[in-house]
Amino acid sequence: MADALSLASSCDADVPVGAGLYDESGALVSRGRNERERRGDPTAHAEVEALRAGAAALGRWRLDGCTLVVTLEPCVMCAGALVSARVDRVVFGAWDAKAGAVGSVWDVVRDRRALHQVEVVGGVLTQECSQVLTDFFARRRSV
């Protein structure tokens, strides 16, 4: 989570979210950060960026055996991408009471009707992950 937090802190104009994809041995495969504003791409969330880079690095779209670590609870789009990519586990920091889709508002990744379920570990370094977001929005409001 420390690596994802560092990556989140490097976001400038974008909401600070960082993610890392790890293989079965715990080795970092890829990273991603939120770049929606910078690139003008509504799908450029940290999770999607890490999944895309991970699929390219591994040479396969099925990311079974992998764990995605992200600073903010994934949204519906990102949760759907985790299911589609067959990721084994998602570990996240801050809960998202407005748009969270792995337990807060929805629980897309553990829906028994889905073709794949993802293990969820939430609340890792919650305070630190939340603080990065709080600081970002405080700066935005003061401008």
CATH code: domain 1-142 is 3.40.140.10
Give me the pLDDT at residue 76, please.
98
Q: Which of 24, 35, 37, 47 is catalytic?
A: 47
Residue 95 is encoded by which pair of tokens? 């809960």
pTM here is 0.95
Q: Where are the domains of the chain?
A: 1-142
| Annotated catalytic residue 119 | no
When pLDDT is averaged across residues 56-63 and rounded to a whole number, the result is: 98
Whether 59 has a pLDDT exceeding 70, the answer reads yes
Whether 129 has a pLDDT exceeding 90, the answer reads yes
CA 124 from chain center: how many Å? 13
Selection from 46, 120, 32, 57 nearest residue 83 by Cα = 120
User: Which stretches of the chain are DSSP H helices?
Assistant: 2-9, 36-39, 46-58, 76-84, 126-142
CA distance 62 to 126: 29
Residue 48 is encoded by which pair of tokens? 């999607």
Give me the pLDDT at residue 143, please.
66
